[in-house]
Amino acid sequence: MGGTVRAVSSNGEYTFTKPNRDSVTLLAGLGVEGDVHAGTTVKHRSRVAQDPTRPNLRQVHLIHEELFAELLQEGFTVGPGQLGENITTSGIGLLGLPRGTLLHIGEEAVVEITGLRNPCLQIDAFQDGLLKQVVGRDAEGNVVRKAGS
């Protein structure tokens, strides 16, 4: 499977967006070095509130750059890191990768896909109405998540 890393982003503080970096370091079993969501147990505030001892299955967040072009057609301007992702890709069908897929990034890094992101209300706080663009339902009523894995 071919594809490109378009941007990498991280933040050591809880903010919705993450600044782009020249590089990030992925730590096995932890996530992005120095990122607030790195660690073996959950780091997302809502999940910590439920049970802080649960395993962290969202150590590295990926979004496909193609989503930004789709959102632009709907009047939303979004760029790499602005939806809180660590890695922005191009040319990889992230949304179609099954759980357990091992995605090779660069020459050494391997990320295991643990599921699709479940977008939260913070997305609407970033840009009003954006949540409806990144999560919806298909013709059969099934939930469709577009905000990455």
Residues 73-94 have a mean pLDDT of 96
The residue ranges of every structural domain in the chain are 4-145
pTM: 0.92
- Cross-strand bridge partners of residue 105: 109
pLDDT digits 0-9 by tens, 44-78? 877 888 899 999 888 999 999 999 999 999 999 99
In this prediction, residue 46 carries a pLDDT of: 79
Q: Give CATH superfamily name and number for 4-145.
A: PK beta-barrel domain-like (2.40.33.20)
Mean pLDDT of the chain: 92
Distance separating alpha carbons of residues 109 and 98, to the nearest angstrom: 18
